[in-house]
Structure 1
Amino acid sequence: MLEKTIKQPIRLVALDTEVFDKANFNFQSKIFQKLIELVRAEKISIYLTTITHQEISEHIHRKAKQAASGFKKLHKDFREQAKIIYYSSKYQKLLNLTLEEEELMNELREQFSDFIEKSQIEILSIKTVSPEDIFAKYFKSIAPFHNGQKKHEFPDAFALAAIEEKAKKENRKIYVISGDKDWLEASNQSEHLIYKESIDKLLEDIIAQESDEIDLCYEIFEDNLEEIKEEISSIFIEGEFSLSDDFAYGYLEPGSEYIEVVVDVINIIDKSIVDINNQEVEYPIITFELKIDISYTAHISYDSTEYAFWDSEDHAYYNIQNVTEKLKQKIVISVELEILLFRDELHHLCFNAIENVDLDTNGSIGTIVLVDEGFEENQEELDSCFSPDEYDDN
């Protein structure tokens, strides 16, 4: 007699604008591509409300405007500092670089539309939502109403109501994905909505139902935690660090700074398994999404003009002093970690190697700015880190 397998029902999933903001509108990210894969495998169906769709489009516009404005300011400063390259055949073109707000906005909106098409997203209208019901919740301070931020709470209220109506119509529960705690409170008050704070948590639920080895994967993670932290640490210190514009109260001689970063502590705040790649049956790759905080010490050396004097004839500062100090900072980041496993002679999963670590999957970290606060004197230690000759005035 043939065994019959029971096919899992398709999960209904509604996404909040916060999901896209958090991903920095990176529609090519592994998370969004995984959603497309699950839709095509008929494991999930995805919904957006018309309000959410409009919000995402507007956020793309705002971010594009912000990027264009920031680039314009930076490029203006660059042109002032880089006049020497005006007659360079190789680098002169850098002076004419532009970032067009409308072009960037249209490109990202097109990527958004492409993601909607590939993931077969259904857009839910709010036309059937009763304004009277929404205002009743408002006057009674029922979630998402409670902070008095009416401008932000009303769109959420209409979006959640449209999702709940869809759930009732389908006689199904709908997963709502959002890092917004208002959505959590509203979902807790509805028998039709299941709250998940991120796509990661949704993917973990799906994987847990399909694999009986997920607990073992977490055990392997914990058993190799120190090696994982060391790998994250080594990649982190190779990142880009810079000093804030007002560093050293404006007495910093540009280009003189030297930064060496040491990781003090790495804490794993949260972890989720978002993918199990079984293409190589004996060597599966497990993808974790981690939320971590990194406490680190930045050892800094720079030339200070605080007590220097300007020679107008030589067009140079004299009596520049080299300063060596350190500061401690902390940053919270998301990490994508891939671990390669193998199966032993008993077919049990075992750790093989760290396949890949990505500390900036959505390009949201960029250059980490060091702020001139909380400095500590550390002259003896820093003298051993920096060669005095390296910073002598010429």
Structure 2
Amino acid sequence: MDYGAITIDTSIFDEKGLGLESGILKTLEQFNGRPSHLVLSEIVVREVHSHLRKKAADAREQVLKALRESKKHLSVSEDEVTLAREALVPELDDGEVAKQRLKAFVAATGAEIIPAAGKVDLGQIIGRYFQSEPPFAASGNKKNEFPDAIALLSLESWAKEHGCKILAVAKDADWKRFADESEYIDLLEDLAEAISKFQPPSDAIEFCSEISKTLPQGHPDELLDLLHMYLSEAVGEMDLYPEANSQFFYEPDFVEVSLEDFDFVTDKAGNALLQPVQGQDGLLIIEAKINITATASTTFSLSVRDSIDKDYVTIGDASASETIEFESEVLLTFEGDFSQGEHEVELTGFELLSYPKEVDFGEIEPDWWSEEQRV
């Protein structure tokens, strides 16, 4: 039985940072109008809307806080703050902002929303609940699993009606338990891998297969040089929160990050793990997994509390540097005549999809301490 559709759980939307307008979630637009298309459970849509609304609320609060701080610390006038607020903070409430983003995503991807009403037998859900059948676990707080049960049973009902299988993408134990026993739903945890299952054979896909063999060996040189340039820029723009330990109070500065080295994550055969998420004449979008080594540097301002006037007194700075290593996914966009080989193909887009959110600089102390020790 062929896959008639692909579906995504809320866990994947969250993993991709709810970036509906960019990254790999945007590549789902290729399913618009195709026989094997994107279907979404009404339950997942409602959950994603809730998460988008929270993101909007958090972003709104951060912007308003920054504007309040700008008046205090940057000598920005009230008129300037008002102009900035009008430009950056929408009048729409957070729920409406989330609704519009989700509506645009559904329209762009052509997603079909599978309703719960008329698709799910309440008696079937109750029976699964009391018999601890998937997606309900034998123990734990099974009440939290009702949304998953409704979503999965409605999707399975749709698949039965259409005589096809659905490829689900989720990082959720409940979904996995259900898929393991379902004849109509298979499950993968990696979105790029799932999308690759729907890519028809083409010169672009063949190009992807070829460079997966040569990139770990350092070829083609021009492509690797271009990747190094793009990756250096992206790593330099990473926003890392600095963590540290100290006997003093500290205030960190901005963290600067510079690329030291990178290599491709490979399979057992030594080929780079490249997943074609969109391959057609003239265009190829690939998700690649890479190992990155970088150096993170910052300066901490250290202070102690004066026991007499209860104020904080600066005692100096602490310079800190740390080597960080992490695995990341990147999205690569190629364009050109793939039938003519690598010389007629150009890397036209690069996006760093994942990276750490913080870096631990360990124990820090004033720079002048080490200078005294040298004396």
Provide the TM-score with structure 1 as the length reference. Answer: 0.71
Partner of 2:14: 21
Aligned to 1:261: 258
Partners of 1:138 and 1:292 lie apart in 2 by 42
Q: Does 1:223 align with 2:214?
A: yes
- Which amino acid in the other structure matches residue 142 of structure 1? E
Q: 1:247 to 1:235 in 2, by over 3 A?
A: farther
Give 1:23 shift: 3.6
Distance (Å, rounded) in 1 between the aligned partners of 2:20 and 2:255 = 36
The equivalent of 2:221 in structure 1 is none
Deviates more, 1:242-251 or 1:186-195: 242-251
TM-superposed deviation, 1:159: 0.8
Instruction: Describe how 1:328-343 pairs up with structure 2 within 5 A.
Output: 328-340=323-335
Partner letter of residue 331 of structure 2?
Answer: E
Match of 1:56 in 2: 48
Q: Does 1:176 align with 2:174?
A: no
**Residue 97 of structure 1, CA deviation:** 7.5
Stretches of structure 1 lacking an aligned partner (at least 5 in a row): 1-7, 280-284, 384-394
RMSD: 4.2
| Post-superposition CA distance 1:308-337 (Å, at most 9, x none) | 989x9xx9967x434333224445543111
Pair 1:35–1:141, CA change in 2 (3 A): same
1:249, CA displacement in angstroms? 6.3
The answer as to 2:268 corresponding to 1:271 is no
Out of 225, 234, 237, the residue aligned to residue 235 of structure 2 is: 237
Cα distance 1:266–1:368, how it changes in 2: closer, same or farther (>3 A)? farther
Instruction: Please name the residue that 1:373 is paired with.
Output: 362
User: Aligned pair in 2 of structure 1 residues 65, 92: CA closer, same or farther (>3 Å)?
Assistant: closer
Contact between 2:10 and 2:47, CA under 8 Å: does it hold in 1? yes
Matches of 2:255 and 2:189, distance apart in 1: 40
Give 1:12's aligned residue.
5
C-alpha separation in 1, matches of 2:28 and 2:63: 33
Q: Is the contact made by 1:9 and 1:43 (CA closer than 8 Å) also made in structure 2?
A: no
Matches of 1:264 and 1:334 in 2, distance apart?
15
Residues 30-41 of structure 1 correspond to what in structure 2 (within 5 A)? 31-40=24-33
Q: For residue 254 of structure 1, report the CA deviation from its aligned partner.
A: 6.4
Contact 1:326 1:377 in 2 (8 A): no
Aligned CA distance change for structure 1 residues 250 and 142 (closer, same or farther; 3 Å): farther
- Aligned residue for 2:149? 157
Equivalent of residue 98 in structure 2, options 88, 91, 108: 108
Counterpart in the other structure of 1:45: 37
Alignment correspondent of 1:142: 133
Q: 2-side partners of 1:378 and 1:137: how far apart? A: 63
- Residue 11 of structure 1, CA deviation: 2.4
- Measured after TM superposition, the shift of residue 48 of structure 1 is 2.2
Q: How far apart in 2 are the matches of 1:190 and 1:246?
A: 48
Aligned length, in residue pairs: 353
Specify whether residues 242 and 156 from structure 1 end up closer, same or farther in structure 2 by C-alpha distance, changes over 3 A only: closer
1:391 is aligned to: none
Cα pair distance change 1:154/1:254, threshold 3 Å: closer
Secondary structure, aligned partner of 2:236 = coil
CA contact (8 A) 1:328 1:375 kept: no
Contact 2:259/2:294, CA 8 A, preserved across alignment: yes
Q: What's 2:319 paired with?
A: 324
Cα separation, partners in 2 of 1:235 and 1:158, compared to 1, 3 Å: same
Q: Which residue of 1 aligns with 2:298?
A: 300
Q: Which amino acid aligns with 1:221?
A: S
Amino acid at match of 2:149: A
5+ residue gaps, structure 2, are 219-223, 267-272
